């Protein structure tokens, strides 16, 4: 008697696999086509940029600096999407705060993210970049394996930013996931630019960001 055939993986996990594969291909293409004067900072160069003041991280923990990125921790502030069937126009002036409600967890509490649901989180650390540097905000593979999208879009970080990093979090698994404040949830990749520029858009500073 032949053994039973394994069940096909859930469509959400297939979506996660293909999405993650596509992101890796796009990142590889981006890195392979960097201009000669634009490069990803390795660990030693990150430390040099921090010492020179071109990169400011607050609060700063040297143990969070990895081979080519810095781990950032999850804060206790979240926004959940309020239920409703009202059609929301995707326009420049649509305010995400009209669709969400903010919660601040007490010490020891976790945020329960249900399957196939999204929320907004934010890092504990504030990042300030000089006009010489920009960056990419990426998830961590150990959490991707749980079906967690830590940052589903808008991963490019402009030069001259001075704020904490908002995370667009999505649970692609079939299990509720408990998000624990203080977890090293994502990583910031720093890149040296060709030329200099500074971001001065809507989300500069920390007042209107979450």
Give catalytic residue positions.
168
> How many other C-beta atoms can be found within 10 angstroms of the C-beta atom of residue 6?
6
The DSSP-derived string for 82-117 is PP--------TT--GGGTEEEEEPPTT--EEE-TT-
Residue 181 has, within 13 A of its CA and on its CB side, a CA count of 17
Nearest to 16 by CA among 166, 178, 180, 146: 146
Cα 196 from Cα 210, distance rounded (Å): 27
87 — phi, psi (to 5°)?
A: -70, 130
The backbone region for 205, taken as left when phi is positive above 0, alpha when psi lies in -120 to 50, beta otherwise, is left
Q: How wide is the angle at C-alpha 184 spanned by C-alphas 179 and 146, nearest 5°?
A: 50
Cα 111 from Cα 134, distance rounded (Å): 30
């Amino acid at each position: 008697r032949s053994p039973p055939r394994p069940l096909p993986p859930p469509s959400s996990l297939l979506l996660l696999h293909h999405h993650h594969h596509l992101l890796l291909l796009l990142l590889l293409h981006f890195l392979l086509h960097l201009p000669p004067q634009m490069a990803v900072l390795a660990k030693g160069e990150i430390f040099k940029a921090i010492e020179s003041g071109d990169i400011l991280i607050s609060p700063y923990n040297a143990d969070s600096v990895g081979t080519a990125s810095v781990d950032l921790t999850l804060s206790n502030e979240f926004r959940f999407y309020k239920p409703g069937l009202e059609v929301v126009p995707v326009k420049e002036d649509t305010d995400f705060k009209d669709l969400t409600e903010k919660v601040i967890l007490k010490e020891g509490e976790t945020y329960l993210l249900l399957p196939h649901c999204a929320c907004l989180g934010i890092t504990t650390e504030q990042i300030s970049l000089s006009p010489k540097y920009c960056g990419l905000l990426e998830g961590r593979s150990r959490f991707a394996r749980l079906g967690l999208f830590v940052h589903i879009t808008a991963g490019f970080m402009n030069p001259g930013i001075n704020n904490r990093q908002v995370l667009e979090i999505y649970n692609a698994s079939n299990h509720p996931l408990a998000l624990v404040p203080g977890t090293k949830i994502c990583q910031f990749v720093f890149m040296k630019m060709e030329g200099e520029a500074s971001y001065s858009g809507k989300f500069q500073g920390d007042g209107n960001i979450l």
